[in-house]
Structure 1
Amino acid sequence: MTPRCSLFRPCIDLHQGQVKQIVGGTLSDKSPDTLKTNFVARQSAGEFARIYKENNLEGGHVIKLGPGNDEAALDALSSWPGGLQVGGGINEKNARYWIDAGASKVIVTSFLFPDGRFSLEHLKSISEIVGKGRLVVDVSCRRRGDRWLVAMNKWQDITDMEVSQNSLDMLSEYCSEFLIHAADVEGLCQGIDEDLVRKLGEWVTIPTTYAGGARDISDLDLVHRLSGGRVDLTYGSSLDIFGGAQVKFQDLVKENTLRQAKNQGNEGV
């Protein structure tokens, strides 16, 4: 069977109501002065959503980094109903609201880890509320030696879950997709975590998007090779639409169109 091609997945990161690109490891409620921001957009979240819609870039995610982002998130969802996933503060009480507001899927992390400890009960409850097919589990993580531990609360707090074959197999019983930010390299434009992407290619059995460190259009090929086409890639701070100088958005769109066509052709084989 011909393997699928890894695709480019777009993002809209929201902080204090604006579209921003932030160095992930600098987000902190305790020390807000440490925050390092690479880019603050003049355009609204809705404008970015329309750009993604016009270029047929499916599977993108809107992430609310802290409070004050609901209005901007709703703007994005209303600009492309059913075309974007939304995450950030999602729990069993508001998950259905965001689906009804136009999210294709909801993305959940912190709700699954009360006091930093994984709760299967919480996972089952939110999966039942929105349905497995509408749930994405965000297992964004920080590296600790040769392991990766899930990080929650804007990647500030380390949980008791290791990203591994066993944990991903268990989680995939209740969700349809994974989103994984490598928080240690997020926003640095210094290269992806190749070891993590390689392991994800071995472990995942459902659609998975990796984010963190992408700095060149060739990284899409790199992720494809390392993961065997099982992992897609998000670009952020390196993109010209986010103030970056390394990667042109339109070049990625053209590449993605070719890859989507190949995937569709492979499905027919």
Structure 2
Amino acid sequence: MTKFRPCIDLHNGQVKQIVGGTLSDDGAGLKENFVAEASAEEFAQRYREDGLGGGHVIQLGPGNREAALGALGAWPGGMQLGGGVTIENAESWLEAGASQVIVTSWLFDGDGVFRMDRLKELSEAIGRERLVVDLSCRRTERGWTVAMNRWQTLTDVEVNEASLDRMAEYCAEYLVHAADVEGLCGGVDLELVELLGSWGKIPMTYAGGVGVMDDVLAVDRHSGGKLDLTVGSALDIFGGSGVEYEALVNWNRRE
């Protein structure tokens, strides 16, 4: 059964909703859908009060450490932490209150070549159950290709049954942003949803493109209930109008 998992996306220390494909190192062309007045800590406290576990705090670039620590402190053990995670700092984020750490770019070299040795090393260091692998991807002629460095750099990993099988031995969950539709509220990538749902061997969270409640229903239906999902720019608490936060809280409470 598909569940809603909340998110806190941090950019320059603020909670924001950003069109994923516009992120870059120099900030040129960045498109922001929403910038919150409330702090990351306040959002985490609200999720805690509403019993929305399994969500994630994502640091989109530098300047987000204090905000991330505030969110984790507001709900110790209640949210995952991603963004800039390496083997050197993973344990410190867990000690700061992250339920799990989410890792992407560190698993690849500078050319985007996957390093299985790094995945094994990190899994052994912190424990498989505390590791989430981010397979956020872009659609390419080969299917879906994992992208790193804030979705700017394509890697040599395709999202398919073989790659999902290969990494699942060393992590507890996958997080998959469909970067091409992230922040656009124009509908989810149902082909990707179906691919992930048909595999469905460990917990997974899908993000990208949810615009209305029907998209939530579509993820549940097309994944066979195997995928959880997060909702960003369409959500009313993030300035959107397509999906009501309370509707998702009630969705999670259904039997």
- Does the residue aligned with 1:160 lie in a helix, a strand or coil? strand
Matched, 1:177 2:177: no
Matches of 1:254 and 1:220, distance apart in 2: 13
Matches of 1:184 and 1:33, distance apart in 2: 18
- Does the residue aligned with 2:28 lie in a helix, a strand or coil? helix
Stretch moving more, 145-154 or 235-244: 145-154
- Does the residue aligned with 1:99 lie in a helix, a strand or coil? helix
- Does the residue aligned with 2:162 lie in a helix, a strand or coil? helix
> 1:146, CA displacement in angstroms?
5.3
Q: What's the counterpart of residue 147 of structure 1?
A: 143
Unaligned residue ranges in structure 2 (runs of 5+): none
Q: What's the counterpart of residue 257 of structure 1?
A: 253
- Does the residue aligned with 1:254 lie in a helix, a strand or coil? helix
Q: What's the counterpart of residue 59 of structure 2?
A: 64
Unaligned residue ranges in structure 1 (runs of 5+): 263-269
Mapping for residues 128-147 of structure 1, pairs under 5 Å = 128-145=124-141, 147=143
Q: What's the counterpart of residue 75 of structure 1?
A: 70
Matched, 1:107 2:102: yes
> 1:218, CA displacement in angstroms?
2.1
Matched, 1:195 2:191: yes
Q: What's the counterpart of residue 267 of structure 1?
A: none
Q: TM-score, normalised by structure 1?
A: 0.93
Q: What's the counterpart of residue 88 of structure 1?
A: 83
1:242 to 222, 234, 238: 238
Matches of 2:58 and 2:125, distance apart in 1: 20
Misfit runs of 4+, over 2 Å: none
Identity of paired residues, percent? 60
Stretch moving more, 120-129 or 132-141: 120-129
Matches of 1:222 and 1:190, distance apart in 2: 13
> 1:29, CA displacement in angstroms?
1.0
- Does the residue aligned with 1:209 lie in a helix, a strand or coil? strand
Paired residues, number: 254
Contact 1:7 1:220 in 2 (8 A): no
> 1:169, CA displacement in angstroms?
0.5
Mapping for residues 153-168 of structure 1, pairs under 5 Å = 153-168=149-164
